[in-house]
Amino acid sequence: MAQVRPMRADARRNRERLLEVAAAAFAEHGEGASLDEIAKRAGVGTGTLYRHFPTRQTLLEAAYLGRIEAIAARADAVAAERAPGEALREWLDELAAGMMQVRGMRALLGTAVTADGSTVDTACGDCLRAAAGRLVRAAQEAGALRRDVEPIEVLRLVHAVATASGAAAGEDGGSASVRRYLSLVWDGLRAQRPVGAPVRDAHPG
């Protein structure tokens, strides 16, 4: 069986830059995003773009997956800096904001994201469920989160918040709605305080 040769460092940088630029371009221009302009903004030729991503669809899928993986990776970063309950709350804020940012790409992908067995759908779901699972379990063990809450339930609630906030988006792009709705969701997710215990906002601001 032929061995897969590792990607050279310069090729890897080109690919990463293309994905970064493509995600921004698709978010800004939707399906009208120019592949030639994406290549130009990434500082590479169109030939390099097509070597990495033979079609618009493959570029769109990779850009979407890259954004979701970056959001998932933030789970470990915030867990290293915050107490378990605060880490979960902060990541949920970032997750909701990220979902709103990529909703245009998701709409463009259509069935490539939502169909059963889709590679993109499976990969996105797997990395988010794993990240949520780690934070949810840690928050439960620390007594900051209800024991009867499942990670998938948290993800579905955040998805609902992102959807509702997008529908209510105003001049701020829906960020105020995200904060308000997540605050209400978090109040329902937190472990119940003992009677008489002082109320403390686990996520100031």
Got the DSSP string for 13-68? Answer: HHHHHHHHHHHHHHHHHGGG--HHHHHHHHTS-HHHHHHH-SSHHHHHHHHHHHHH
Percentage with pLDDT > 90 across the chain: 49
Query: Reduced to 3 states, what is the DSSP secondary structure of residue 190?
Result: strand
State the burial class of residue 163 (Cβ atoms within 10 Å of its Cβ: 0-12, 13-18, 19+).
middle
Q: Lowest mean pLDDT: which of 98-112, 139-153, 166-180, 187-201?
A: 187-201
Q: What is the rounded distance in angstroms from the CA atom of residue 139 to the CA atom of residue 60?
A: 34
Q: Are 165 and 96 in contact (CB under 8 A)?
A: yes
Average pLDDT, the chain: 82
Residue 5: the pLDDT is 54
Residue 106 pLDDT: 78
User: Is 132 in contact with 151 (CB distance < 8 Å)?
Assistant: yes
136: pLDDT confidence band, cut at 50, 70 and 90?
very high
What's the rounded Cα separation, in Å, for the pair 163 and 57? 24
First vs last Cα of the chain: how many Å apart? Answer: 56
Tabulate helix, strand, coil % of the chain (nearest 5): 75, 0, 25
145 three-class SS: strand
Q: What percent of the chain has pLDDT over 70?
A: 80
CA distances from 153 to 10, 59, 121 (A): 41, 30, 18
User: Could you report the per-residue pLDDT of 64-97, keeping only the tens digit for each?
Assistant: 889 999 999 999 999 999 999 999 999 999 999 8
Question: What is this structure's pTM?
Answer: 0.77
Name which of 12-26, 71-85, 186-200 the model is least confident about.
Answer: 186-200
